Amino acid sequence: MQIDPTALPEVLILTPRRFGDARGWFMETYNATRMAEAGIDIAWVQDNQSFSAAKGTLRGLHYQRPPHAQDKLVRCSRGAILDVAVDFRAGSPRFGKWVGVELSAENGRQLLVPKGFLHGFVTLTDDTEVQYKCSDVYAPDCDGAVRWDDPQIGVDWGIAAPVLSDKDRNAPLLAEAPRPFTWEGGK
């Protein structure tokens, strides 16, 4: 597995190796031992999958606050997405900065989004499926969101009028959102 940093050092791109032959290909998407050897020692407790019928469907920017904060390992198993992580840790020198990575069934890449980061994606194709591992279970009382089009963050989604849920359409701006995460130095 190849592991590459992004402009936000805690957010990583993981690219599993594919082994192909005349039948197609095989890819190991997760191996706890290999991940731990690479310094990624996260206990995954929940797997999620979403389907979006229309290109331009945007889901985000979401987070889950402590005590049920989640690390996420995201991949696109059908179609393609622009996957986005935003530093949401109060006091971080990169607070409000974002990174976007194209994940697709074709490129096989995965994005590791740690606790303390907002997460969202927009579908780049119709009929898109996204799968992700979470380090904690979904807890509705800890669920939160920040507006997808917040000008303070300035994510370039590449779309002006996405398909949105009411939750995402009505989420607060970054300046109005609570600050459940604190930067603890380091990267």
Active site annotation includes 62 = yes
Number of domains in the chain: 1
Q: What type of residue is 88?
A: F
- 181: in domain: no
pLDDT score of 1: 87
- For 157-172, what is each residue's pLDDT tens digit? 999 899 999 999 999 9
Structural contact between residues 69 and 115, judged by C-beta atoms closer than 8 angstroms: yes
Domain with 147, as residue range(s), is 2-175
- 180: in domain: no
Of 30, 62, 63, 119, the active-site residue reads 62
Is the pLDDT at 43 greater than 70? The verdict is yes
Chain centroid, CA 165 distance in Å: 17
- 182: in domain: no
- 130: in domain: yes
pLDDT score of 187: 60
Token output for 43: 């206990």
- 187: in domain: no
- 186: in domain: no
- For 83-98, what is each residue's pLDDT tens digit? 999 999 999 999 999 9
- 122: in domain: yes
- 125: in domain: yes
Question: How many C-beta neighbours within 10 Å does residue 27 have?
Answer: 13
Q: How confident is the model at residue 30 (pLDDT cuts 50, 70, 90)?
A: confident
Helix (H) or strand (E) holding 98: strand 98-104
- For 8-21, what is each residue's pLDDT tens digit? 999 999 998 888 88
Would the pTM of this model clear 0.75, i.e. be above it? yes
Residue 19: which CATH number?
A: 2.60.120.10
Taking CA 83 as the corner, what is the angle to CA 12 and CA 129, rounded to the nearest 5 degrees? 115
CA distances from 77 to 63, 155, 184 (A): 22, 24, 34
Active site annotation includes 119 = no
Is the pLDDT at 5 greater than 80? The verdict is yes
Q: How confident is the model at residue 25 (pLDDT cuts 50, 70, 90)?
A: confident
